[in-house]
Structure 1
């Protein structure tokens, strides 16, 4: 079994969020540029996507090498980024990369839904070490997060289809992350009610 190792929290955050921030900054710099590669014109968005995919793979690989562990969500994210990013570059069509968050959140929400249908919380399996909760709390949190994921998938579809590319980039970089953060912050009452520590006192 691979040993899990601790690394500097700042380095860990840089490897996890650095590629996304680099994508955002590069987009702002090159969004209006057009590049000709081997006789084919590519927008700045497509070229940045082409650079982002290997950058994310390298950062995730470095994270695995340093910590000895990757979450299933991280693995799934890298696979879907590679798939949809690769399709966008190969077909010179930015729509595929814009659909990537939709696929990710539908996948995560669908997996949670399958677990709930079986009377299980797959979220507990992933996050139990971080948040020790009673089983009832895990089921409630899982249902809420499932709905959150489906809501984010719907929001991404609406924004990339009806808003500008720049709006979508801001939404992807900051909106989605802020929404997930806000979701967990809003679960404070649930954590207090169903925490194992409180149950044992």
Structure 2
């Protein structure tokens, strides 16, 4: 009888060990706890305006002997990036701080800019432009996927200043907030209400 129990116990023990290793492996993959201790800093400048030559400059550069000629008008200067809306990030599931800006670039395109971002790292973090209200505390953790939102891509780094292009077919005036969204667990790490400039 003891021999039968020993034979049955060995495969059962191996089976339990295999299941435990598989569960631990899945848990590590899913939660990626090591990211809580790994910071990734990304520092991007705001995209610069492209300087295009004005009609007088084009004429000057193609006319022989134009080096001595005085330009008839001042070179055209770009208007530069314009901040349309901005807000301060508040903490949700993780301590989060920094400034969010909705910026129209000189070429008419738009970006969401995160400045001085400081949040936790985590699995599958995204930057979302949303129409949801920003609420303090746990009431605000899960609201951003309730309405309309546009994912602007994966968070480039959990610290620093970064730019996220808004697709040309998206009207940024329809959205009122930005969330650092953990897509794996459907929770906001932090968010900012966009107050119009």
TM value normalised by structure 1: 0.23
Relative to its length, the structure with more helix (as a share) is 1
TM value normalised by structure 2: 0.24
Q: Which has the larger radius of gyration?
A: 2
